[in-house]
Structure 1
Amino acid sequence: MKILGIIPARGGSKSVPGKNIKKLDNKPLLQYTFDAANKANGLSDVVLSTDDEAIMKVAKQIGLKAPFKRPADLALDSTPTLPVIQHTLKYFIDQGVYYDAVCLLQVTTPFKTSEFIDKAINKFVNTGTDALISVQKVPHKFNPHWIFKENNEGNLELFTSEKEIVTRRQDLPSDYYFRDGCIYITKTEVLLEQNSLYGSKISYIESPEAAAINIDTLSDWRMAEDYLKSMKN
C-alpha cells in the first residue's frame, strides 16, 4: 500500500508563539516528527503542508519536502484538518501521483517513534478499516458511567441515563478511549469521495505514554522539556 505521510504545520500559533519551529532541546519541534516519519518503513513519502515561509525554510534545512505553500484560507485557526489533507492529495493528483492512504502526523506530538508509526500502519493495512487513529484509555475517574450532567430541574443525573451509579471500579462495563492526535491514517477514497477523515469503520492503536504528550500550551511545552530531561537522566 502506498501511503503518504503529511506533517501539517501552520504558522501563527498563539498559545506558544512560533511553536512548530521553536527549539525543544536545541531541535526545532518540527524535526522530532519528521525524524520519526523519515525512518518509518511504511511511509512511501513524507511532505510538509504549511502556509509559513519560516517553517518552509526550517523544513528545507532538515530535509523535509515542502513542495507547495498552503493557501491562507486553509491556515486559519478555524480550518479543519480534512480540507488540508485533501489539498495535499489534490496537489499530487495534479502531478499524476496517487496514494492509497494518508498518514497524518501532528508536530505537536513530538515523541512518537518510527516503530510506533509502522506498528500503526501495519494494523491499518491488516484490519482493512477506513481509518485508524491513535488513542488513550479514559482514566477510570472520568468513565462515562461515573460522570454526571445537569438535568432540566437543575439537579444531577448520570450521563449514561442509568438509574444507579456503578459503585466499584471493577464493575465498570468496559474501557473507553479518546483520540490523542498522535496518528491518523485514512484511505484516500474515504478522504476524497466520502469527504471524511474517519469513514464508517475505524480501528485504533494505543499510544505509549510519551507519544501521547500533546503540546498545545506553555505548560504542555514544559512537560515536554521535563520528559526530555528525565530521559537524559
Structure 2
Amino acid sequence: MRILGVIPARGGSKGVPGKNIKTLGDNPLLYFTSNAANQSKLLDKTILSSDDSEIIKVAKENQINVPFIRPEHLANDTATSISVVQHAIEYMESLGEYYDAICLLQPTSPFREKGFIDAAIQKFITEDADALVSVLPVPHEFNPHWVFEPNDSGFLKISTGENSIISRRQDLPKSYFRDGSVYITKTEIIKRGSFYGEKLSFLESNPDFYVNIDTLKDWEIAENKLHFLKDRL
C-alpha cells in the first residue's frame, strides 16, 4: 500500500501568530511533525501544503517535499481540511503519482512518540479500515452518557438520548476524542468527501504527548511538555 503523508500548514494564524514556524525549544513548530514523518518507514513520501513562503522555506530545510504552493482559496479561514487534502491528491495525480491512502499530520499536534505513525499505519492496513484516527479517552465526567443538552422546551436531556442516567462510573462505556496527531484515510474515501468512511479504526495515543496548539496558553503547555519529551520524540 502506497501512503502519502500530508502536512497542512497555512500562514495567517490568529491565535498564535506565525505558529507553524514559531520557535518551540530550539526548533520551529513545523520541525516536530516533519521529523516524525521523516522517521516513518511506512510513508512513501511526505509533502507540505502551504500558501506561505516562509513556511515552505522551513519545510524544505527539514527535508519535506513541497511540490506546489497552496491556492489562495484554500488558505483562508473558511477552507476545510478535506478540500486541502483533496487538492493535494489531485496535484500529485497530475504528476502521475497515485497513493492508496493519505496520512494527515497536523503541525499543531507536534508531539508524537517514536514509532507512533508507523504503528498507526500498520493497524490501518492490518484491519483493512477505511480510516484510522489517533485518540485519547474522554475523562469520565465528560462521557457523553453523563452530558446533558437542552431540549426544545429548554429542559435538559441526556445527550445520548437515554431516559435514565448511568449511575456508576464503572458502567460507563469507554469513549474517545480525536487528539489530532494522526489521521489515515483511503484516498477513495477522501475523494468522496470524508476522512472517516464506514470502517473507522483508532489507535490510542500516549497522553504524555498530547497538546493541540490553538492559543498562547496551549503554546505554554507545549513548552513545558517539551522539556520532558525531547528524548522520546
TM-score range, shorter chain: over 0.9
Paired AA for residue 136 in structure 1: L
Return the alpha-carbon distance in structure 1 between the equivalents of residues 229 and 32 of structure 2.
15
The answer to whether the 8 Å contact 1:37/1:114 transfers is: no
Q: Secondary structure at the match of 2:16?
A: coil
What is residue 39 of structure 1 aligned with on the other side? Answer: 39
* Amino acid across the alignment from 1:90: E
Q: 1:207 offset after TM fit, Å?
A: 1.2
Structure-2 change in CA distance of 1:97 and 1:232 (3 Å): closer
Deviations 1:179-230 (A, max 9, x none): 12111101111122x2322112111111111333111111110000011223
- 2:127 equivalent in structure 1: 127
Is the contact between residue 137 and residue 175 of structure 2 (CA under 8 Å) also seen in structure 1? Answer: yes
Correspondence 1:102 to 2:102: yes
Cα separation, 2, equivalents of 1:231 and 1:100: 33
RMSD: 1.5
Shift of 1:53: 0.6
* Aligned partner (choices 201, 226, 230) of residue 228 of structure 2: 230
Cα pair 2:209 2:229 within 8 Å, conserved: no
Q: Is 1:189 matched with 2:188?
A: yes
Alignment: residue pair count:
231
Distance 1:161 1:46 in 2: 42
Q: Which residue of 2 aligns with 1:179?
A: 178
- The unaligned stretches of length 5 or more in structure 1 are none
Query: Which stretch has the larger CA shift, 30-39 or 176-185?
Result: 176-185
Provide the residue aligned with 1:201 in structure 2: 199
Q: Comparing 17-26 with 161-170, which one deviates more in the overlay?
A: 161-170
Aligned residue for 1:166, secondary structure, equals coil
Aligned partner of residue 152 in structure 2, secondary structure: coil
Instruction: Output the CA distance in 1 between the equivalents of 2:51 and 2:92.
Output: 17
- Mapped contact 1:111–1:210 kept (Cα < 8 A): no
Greater than 3 Å deviation, 4+ residue runs: 230-233
- Structure 2 gaps of 5+ residues are none
| Residue matched to 2:59 | 59
Taking structure 1 as the reference length, the TM-score comes to 0.94
What aligned pairs does 1:70-85 form with structure 2 within 5 A after superposition?
70-85=70-85
Hey, what's the Cα distance between the residues in 2 that align with 1:125 and 1:90? 23
Aligned-residue offset at 1:158: 2.1
Counterpart AA for 2:185 = T
The structure-2 alpha-carbon separation of the partners of 1:94 and 1:144, relative to structure 1 and needing over 3 Å to count, comes to same
Cα 1:48–1:163 change in 2 (3 A) is: same
Q: Is the 8 A contact 1:112 1:210 kept in 2?
A: no
Q: Output aligned runs, 1:211-222, within 5 Å.
A: 211-222=209-220
